[in-house]
Amino acid sequence: GCYITLILQRPLTFPCSTSQGPIKGSPPPLGMEAEAVNPFDGVPDELLEVIFSYFDFETLTTTVSRVCRRWYEVMPRVPITMRIKHACLEVLASQTKTYRVVNFILGAQTTASNDLVRVLASGSPGLERIVIGKSTALTDDAVLSLAKHCPRLVTLDLFWAYQITDASIEPLVRRCRKMTRVILPDSRRLTNVAVTTLARHCPLLAQVNLRDCCTITDEAVAELANRCKLLMFVNFLGCSGVTKVSAMALRRKCPDLDCVLMNGWD
């Protein structure tokens, strides 16, 4: 399925009354809440936000927001995880005045398209995390859309992105300099140029997975070791040009590194 985390930008607009009186299910006008003791009165807003974050989007907008005015006013600050169908993405992107997409996770059972990523990116400038389990149909156009519209991106996970090349990675990392996680296994068209650029522009990197990117060599990994001191996890399995020399350099220069995966290194 497709999972999206949203943060509401403003309350959804619900009419509170008509000439016949309040609409059933709408947030009550000021002064009309029930007089009975509310056990949630002593709960701070911050805790309510955490509690509400466990509800799905539909429940929040159709039920929780209409319980009382306080809940209605708290709800816009709640991060929402939402499961949607692929076809709903364009509708979501058109509603960015109501919420912003923070996390986008698409499972491997659905092949992502360039159009899907383009719509997501153009409608979600606050996107911070994108995880696509099946990226075989994605080209550089998809990554360039992220580079153009999503400067807050910190996590990029694209599995089986066979068609992605250095041409899109370079503008992406130049724009998204706070990247902490780059997972691009099987992106076999990536070369040392992409890795070197990544190292030079994203010093906060903590996790890098370039498994089976077979043209990468020790030269590029040396750049990561020299410039990305916060690395904790690297995976270069299947990269025949990456040797024990790289592993030793990473161990020596990245004190927080606790997992190194590469051929011939335990």
Q: Structure tokens of 256?
A: 């927080």
Return mean pLDDT, the chain. 80
Over residues 53-81, mean pLDDT: 72
If we measure between CA atoms, which residue out of 186, 223, 232, 226 comes closest to residue 205?
232
Residue 16 exposed, middle or buried by CB count within 10 Å (0-12, 13-18, 19+): middle
Q: Return the minimum-mean-pLDDT range out of 62-76, 85-99, 162-176, 227-241.
A: 85-99
In angstroms, the CA 264 to CA 27 distance is 63
Task: List, for residues 199-216, the tens digit of each pLDDT value.
Answer: 999 999 999 999 999 999
More confident residue, 34 or 148: 148
Does the pLDDT of residue 184 top 80, yes or no?
yes
Give the whole-angstrom CA distance, residue 199 versus residue 202. Answer: 6
171 pLDDT higher than 70? yes
What are the tens digits of pLDDT across the range 16-49? 433 344 444 445 554 544 455 667 778 888 888 7
Taking the C-alpha atoms of residue 32 and residue 109, their distance in angstroms, rounded to an integer, is 48
Q: Is 207 helix (H, G, I), strand (E, B) or coil?
A: strand
Segment 102-139, tens digit of pLDDT: 777 777 666 788 988 888 888 788 888 898 888 999 99
Which residue, 250, 208, 259, is CA-closest to 229?
250
Provide the pLDDT confidence category of residue 78 given band limits of 50, 70 and 90. low
Helices vs strands, H then E, count in the chain: 10, 11
Q: Nearest Cα to 70, choosing from 140, 11, 119, 157? A: 11
The dihedral over CA atoms of 218, 219, 220, 222, expressed in degrees to the nearest 10, equals: 80
| DSSP reduced 3-state for 238 | coil
Q: Which among 26, 31, 32 has a CA at the least distance from the CA of 12?
A: 26
| d(C-alpha 257, C-alpha 208), whole Å | 11
